[in-house]
């Protein structure tokens, strides 16, 4: 026996993209069902990015979940790039009139969950065997099993917010879907530590031994990274080894202010650039990591996903008001912005990392790029404009 449900938009994925979309649609009076293969505790516990563009903050304000963000988030008016010990500050506020906000993605997810549960959102967690059917039929369905029971959701549209490994993108026929990918020959080893950050703003450092990033989650919790080999394992990196390497890459002047301590989270993330086109197939619309992945260097992952969701929420709202122009334009409009995010993340990654295959010429090109950035306000402004986020449309 199959249980049948009906909604206007079925959202696959209860991460920040799916949660934000459901909230923005709820604000517009559009009914949704949200399903995920994991439970709330697992989703909230995932450690992710923490730099929010102004457009992302605006989206959370529109969703009605920005109260804690404004109380606890850390506004940043700039960040620093360091190359072989030389530091150059990108003054975001002066160059663009905008800032970014440091506030962990984990906290964004918690805030959205609290709001959606408060408003009675229909969730289905721990689902299995998710399939999408009828994407071109005008009567799409999402089928899954929950605790052994078969469930079918009939809807007007499906939003695939289920990440890179989700089922949504795979529902697009292979002769329609095009993918583009660049896999980087290194990873990032990241730790969380309950110590004040070494600097009040982020520092991206290119050292002869590899990249390092000094970031934070709050005034008392720091998030630090070092570039590592893809063959490395977390067990290879004791806290002592990490601190020694991190301090070396920051340089003695910066490291003099570094407060070390035991890490309470440690993980290695590979770096890749990935884009899938189109982001619409019939009644299915992709958003976030289901359609694109960026290296974390440019702080674009969550922000690019939120930009997708804002476009998609506006498109669905306009549709139910009788105008389909935004739905028709969604894929092309979203992809135009995605490729700009990919370009910026690639540019910053190429500038700030040590590539094992690079010879002396490539390293000199990196030095020349950094020297130009230091000497040219226009070059710094270009970095700043992309970092704070390009206009949505």
Q: How many CB atoms within 10 Å of residue 133?
A: 13
Q: Which of 103, 184, 225, 387 is catalytic?
A: 387
185 is catalytic: no
Q: Which of 16, 76, 115, 330 is catalytic?
A: 76
Q: Are strands 74-76 and 210-216 parallel, antiparallel or unpaired?
A: unpaired
Q: Show the CA angle centred on residue 362, arms to residues 356 and 367, nearest 5°.
A: 110
Closest CA to 13 of 31, 41, 29, 33: 33
Q: How many CB atoms within 10 Å of residue 322?
A: 6
Q: Which of 103, 157, 184, 204 is catalytic?
A: 204
Q: Which of 110, 124, 300, 319 is catalytic?
A: 300
Would you tell me the crossing angle of helices 360-375 and 325-352 to the nearest 10 degrees? 110
Q: Which of 140, 157, 296, 330 is catalytic?
A: 296
76 is catalytic: yes
Three-class secondary structure assignment of the chain: CEEEEECCEEEECCCHHHHHHHHHHHHCCCCEEEECCCCHHHHHHCCCCCEECHHHHHHHHHHCCCHHHHHHCEEECEEEEEECCEEEEEEHHHHHCCCEEECCHHHHHHHHHHHHHHCCCEEECCCEEEEEECCCCCCCEEEEEECCEEEEEECCEEEECCCCCCCCHHHCCCCCCEEEEEEEEEEEEEEEECCCCCCCCCEEEEECCEEEEEEECCCCCEEEEEEECCCCCHHHCCHHHHHHHHHHHHCHHHHCCCCCCCEEEEEEEEEEEEEEECCEECCEEECHHHCEECCHHHCCHHHHHHHHHHHHHHHHHHHHCCCCHHHHHHHHHHHHHHHHHHHHHHHHHHHHCCCCCCCHHHHHHHHHHHHHHHHCHHHHHHHHHHHHCCCCC
Distances (CA, A) of 3 to 75, 124, 144, 213: 47, 13, 10, 49
Active site residues: 76, 204, 296, 300, 387
């Amino acid at each position: 026996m199959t249980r049948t449900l009906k909604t206007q938009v079925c959202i696959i994925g209860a991460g920040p993209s799916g949660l934000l979309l459901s909230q923005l649609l709820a604000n517009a009076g559009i009914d949704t069902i949200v399903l995920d293969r994991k439970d709330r505790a697992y989703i909230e516990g995932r450690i992710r990015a923490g730099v929010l563009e102004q457009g992302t903050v605006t989206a959370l304000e529109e969703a009605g979940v920005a109260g804690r963000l404004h109380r606890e988030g850390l506004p940043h008016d700039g960040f620093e790039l360091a190359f072989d010990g030389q530091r150059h500050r990108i003054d975001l506020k002066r160059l663009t009139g905008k800032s970014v906000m440091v506030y962990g993605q984990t906290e964004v997810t918690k805030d959205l969950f609290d709001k959606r549960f408060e408003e009675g959102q229909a969730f289905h967690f721990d689902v299995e065997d998710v399939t999408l059917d009828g994407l071109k039929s005008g009567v799409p369905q999402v089928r899954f099993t929950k605790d052994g029971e078969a469930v079918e959701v009939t809807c007007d549209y499906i939003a695939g917010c289920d990440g890179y490994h989700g089922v949504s993108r795979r529902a697009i026929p292979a002769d329609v879907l095009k993918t583009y990918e660049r896999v980087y020959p290194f990873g990032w080893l990241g730790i969380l530590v309950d110590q004040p950050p070494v600097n009040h703003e982020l520092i991206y450092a290119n050292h002869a031994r590899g990249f390092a990033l000094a970031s934070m989650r709050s005034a008392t919790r720091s998030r630090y990274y070092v570039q590592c080999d893809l063959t490395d394992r977390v067990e290879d990196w004791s806290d002592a080894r990490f601190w020694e390497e991190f301090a070396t890459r920051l340089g003695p002047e910066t490291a003099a202010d570094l407060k070390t301590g035991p890490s309470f989270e440690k993980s290695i993330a590979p770096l890749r650039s990935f884009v899938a086109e189109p982001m619409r197939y019939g009644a299915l619309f992709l958003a976030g990591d289901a359609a694109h992945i960026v290296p974390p260097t440019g702080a674009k992952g969550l922000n690019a996903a939120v930009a997708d969701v804002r476009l998609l929420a506006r498109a669905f709202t306009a549709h139910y008001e009788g105008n389909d122009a935004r739905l028709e334009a969604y894929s092309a409009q979203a992809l135009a912005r995605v490729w700009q995010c990919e370009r910026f993340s690639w540019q910053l990654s190429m500038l700030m990392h040590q590539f094992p295959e690079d010879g002396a010429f490539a390293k000199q090109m990196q030095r020349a790029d950094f020297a130009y950035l230091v000497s040219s306000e226009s070059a710094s402004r270009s970095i700043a404009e992309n970092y704070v986020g390009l206009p949505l449309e």
